[in-house]
Structures are given as C-alpha cells and as structure tokens.
Chains A and B, each alone.
Chain A
Amino acid sequence: MHRLFLLLAMAATLAAHEYWIDASGELQRGHLGAAASEHMHKDEAVKQYPSERYCRQSGGVDEVKGAFGVSERVGAACDTMMVILHLGDYAKTPYGIVAASEANPAMVIGSWESIESVKRLNRLSDFAPLGKGFELSFSRDPSGLEAGDKMRVLATYDGAPKAGAVVAYEGRVVGTTDEAGRINVRIRHAGLQQIRATLRQPLTNAPVAERLYNATLNLEVK
C-alpha cells in the first residue's frame, strides 16, 4: 500500500495533461475535469510521435504504425480503438522537466522514457484486453454500467496482468492493482469516463533510469 503514496506524486504530475479519445474517435490532450463530458477542452499541442494504432471490430484487430498526434483520428467504426504514443525521453531537473537530450547531465534528478496508451470502448461488450502494451480493460462486461456502480478494472501488459499499477479515476488516485492486475473503481457520473493508470519499469544499461507507462481507458456511461 505504501507504493500508492510513493507514486501518487508522479501520478499527479502526469495528470497535468491528459489524453483521451472523444466520441468522433479523435485523440485529444488537455485538462479533463471531474465533469469530463461537459467541460473537456483541447490544448494547442500539435506534435507527431511514433505510434501504434489498433482498431478491433468483429473480433479482428487492425494495426497501423506511424507518426501520430493530437486531434488526429485514431479510428472510426471500431468496437475498441487504442493508440500507443512513444513520447520520448525526459529528465527532471531543478528547473523543470525537459527532453532528456536537452538536460545537463549534472543537473538531472530523474529520467524516464514516456509511453502513453489511450483506449476507447465504443461497444462496451468488447471489454477484453487488446493484448498490446500497457492497457486498461474490464474483467467483466461493463454493458449496463450506471453512475454509482463499481467495476473491476484490469491492468495488463501485452495481455498479462500487471500488479502495482497506480490507478486514478477522474484524476483521483484510488489505489494500486493487485497480483492479478485488478482494482475496483466506482463510476461517479454519466458521460465520458476517464480511468488512468501508471506503471514504472526500472531500466538498466539505458540512457534513462526507467520506463514510465501511462494508460487511459475511455468509455461512455449513460
């Protein structure tokens, strides 16, 4: 449980800007408040990142690789769509977070490679993991989910459960996943849901100290 608090600060930092996929299938980045479905807005970030995009429909998964950025369409008529963005290497210095390549090695407090995945369920019964990278799913069918209900969220990496991921709902950390990669999250409101998780992987013999995965799960609740 202590891990929750150790990671809380990092989770909060990462939550400064959030990614989500809107109803039209576009990737968005900005500040997504508690009343997400009513108050979302876009920021001006327009940068292309190496990416993998996935669209699952009728059980089949299409994969597209290539540069991708905010306000671009992840998918259209997908039951489930997901994009993985390789945001690059970063370093924390006394003067802020900068690209690792720009940091003075003598001033680096911490460094990491940032990988962001954003997934949207358009058809809630298609809730199983895609099995691609770090992602959030449900462990049972969320169809019929209503505000006030509690759901079991599943964190996986390439389909395998991941323990110790810090999970937040609407920006509020609710806990860490157990050995089976599970945690219960209560849906607080109707509309667009924003469930996020952070996973850290220490690296050795690498330019940065760790790899930091962030995963977002979006779905609409009536």
Chain B
Amino acid sequence: MKKVLGGSLLACAAAWGHHGVPSISLTGVDGPGAPLETTSSSTLPEGSFLGYLKLDHAKYKTYTSARDGEMDRTDYWLYGLGYGATPYLSAYVFMPYYTKALDDSTMVSGFHDVNFQVVLGLVYDEGFKLARKNESLDDMEDWHFTIFANGTLPTGNSERKDAGGALIDPGMQTGFGEPSLMVGASMTKWFGNAFTFVGDCSYNTFFEHTYDDGTKLRFGDEIRVNGAVTARVYEVPKSRLRVDASLEANYLYLGRDEEDGVGAEATGGSILYTTPSLRVTYKTISAAMGVKLPTATDLNEEDLQQGSEGKERYRFIFTFSTLF
C-alpha cells in the first residue's frame, strides 16, 4: 500500500508530464503520433506554453467483503504548465492533487509535492544534434530522443494524522516529506506513414524521511520501461483533426521500501501493464483516454500488497492538453 502514492506520483511527473502532445499539436494531421503513458520525444516550440491536465483513476481489487480498510480507489489529478525555452529545451511544473479512498470510507485528499521537469530534445540526423526549430515532415522521420530530469519538493503534507492523532500510513500521505529525483530518456521513430514507435525508460529515487513519530522511511527506487506503437486511424486534414490508436506495454519495477533501514514487508515487485488508448487531436488541442491493465505481476509479498501497483482492477486515464 505504501507504494501506491509514491509510485504513482512519479509516474505522473515523468511519464505524463510531456508525453508527445506537443508533437501532435504542432504537426497537425501529419507527423508522429503520441501514446498515452509512454513519453514521446517532443519538446515545446520556442516561446510556447502547454497547459496540461490528467486524471488517473485506479480501482483496486479487494479480497474481503468486510469494510476493513482495503484500498478501494484512487484519483490522481495532475495540473501542468510547460514552456519551450528553446527548440531543444522545455521546462514544466506540475501540481498533483490526490484522492485516496479505502473501503471503510476513509478518504484522504490534497495537493501532493510540486514537481519540476526539464526536457532536452535530440535528433539523430547524420549524428546526434539538438532538436531543431523548424522541422519538415521529412525531418520528423529521423530518430528523435529526449533526456529528462524531474525533481519534487516536499510541498505536500506528509504528516497527516487520523482522528486519534496517530500518523496515517505513509502511503496515504499527500507528500513524501523529502525531495525526490528522476532521470530518464525517450526515443521516437515515425515511419512517415500512420505508424509511430515510442519507447522510454526512467529511474527515480527517494530520500529517507523521518516522520513525526520517529519512523524513518525511504521509498524504494523505481524503474520504468515503456514501449508503444501508435497508429493514425482517422484524419480530416482540412479540419486539422486526427485520431490515433495506441497499444503500450508499461513495465514498472518497484524497489522494496526501507523502514528504519530495514526492508519493509509487503512492498516492491514488478508489474507489466498493457494500455490501449485513443487520442483525438484538433488543431492545438489534444485529448486522450485509455485503460491501463496489469497483465503480469511479480510482487514481493503478493498476498499482502492489496492496494499496491499491480493490484488494480484497472486504471482509467484521461489527458487533455493545449498549446498556446
């Protein structure tokens, strides 16, 4: 359960922060597609802003009929603003708002830690070069890459207490209590037709936090590897409207949390998700939705990790973005 909050926030920050929407918006009805979860290799146009909204609604499997505090659902909202500082460098700030509900009607909600991200865009065209300002459609067929780095600051509340004054589970808090860091890279190949391949990988790590009750906790490191194929399935060039369908494989490795320097039980493991999705792009507006399903899981203590990643019935994901 502890991994749910931390893992999901970083997924938002890294994978959702800038996945491909700019490239679609800029390219209109032609050019590379962008999947839902996998980060595509796009940077924002110089001097342009991107407004971004995301909802990740997760519904969890429960194993008892009693109202005994099993995780029921989570709603992760993400509000973001991006800016293209140069053709090859974009900066983003994200503000997450989380709601977590247990089956006994316990609910926690609030803004989580603010997240900052910088993205460096590269292209391979007779060697690696920084992303260009004015790309033709033929340029867009080149391999594109990004290197990105994220950092969170502990602006959320990591010391929430229940009615009895006891610290609630760190996984239910709306803050890490300490900064966290993530680095990653993505690659995108548009084949000059309806199809685009996108892949990314990322690694993030957390600092140990000491809670008010003296407990020391360090969330386990996380590794993500995503791959996606996107196909343009419908387009109206005159209206600058296009629809893309994507199929993704999303691998997530969760390291074991450490409590007071000791590996915590019921944390960590590996999950492979499958994510089909649709994206509609109209001029400089883009909306996407899809369902993320845990396809294969290998959790450390499978039976004890209700409410963790890998134990969802499904995750419904919706994104909206606009370039201005």
* Residues of A participating in the B interface, judged by any CB pair closer than 8 Å: 1, 4-5, 8-9, 150, 167, 169, 172-178, 182-186
Contact = CB atoms under 8 A, between A and B. Distances in A.
Interface string B233-255: 00001101000000000000000
A178 B134 contact: yes
B133 interface: yes
A150 B133 contact: no
B121 to A, nearest CB: 15
B104 interface: no
Interface residues of B, number: 16
From DSSP, what is the main secondary structure of chain B's interface residues?
A: loop
Given A1-B26, A150-B125, A185 B134 contact: no
Given A1-B45, A186-B141, A174 B136 contact: yes
A48 to B, nearest CB: 36
Most buried by A among B27, B28, B137, B141: B137
Nearest to B135: A175
A169 B137 CA distance: 11
Contacts of A177: 134
Nearest to B237: A8
Interface of B: 26-28, 45, 125, 133-139, 141, 237-238, 240
A169 B138 contact: yes
Contacts of A185: 136, 138
Contact of B136 (A5, A9, A184): A184
15 contacts: A4-B28, A8-B237, A150-B138, A150-B139, A167-B136, A169-B138, A174-B137, A174-B138, A175-B136, A175-B138, A177-B134, A178-B134, A183-B134, A184-B125, A184-B138
Nearest to A173: B137
B284 to A, nearest CB: 8
Contact of A186 (B27, B135, B138, B238): B138
A122 to B, nearest CB: 25
B144 to A, nearest CB: 14
B238 A175 contact: no
Given A1-B27, A176-B134, 18 more contacts: A4-B28, A5-B28, A150-B125, A150-B139, A174-B136, A174-B137, A174-B138, A175-B136, A175-B137, A175-B139, A178-B134, A182-B134, A183-B136, A184-B138, A184-B139, A185-B136, A186-B138, A186-B141
The 10 closest A-B pairs by CB, nearest first: A175-B136, A178-B134, A186-B138, A174-B136, A174-B137, A183-B136, A184-B139, A184-B136, A1-B26, A174-B138
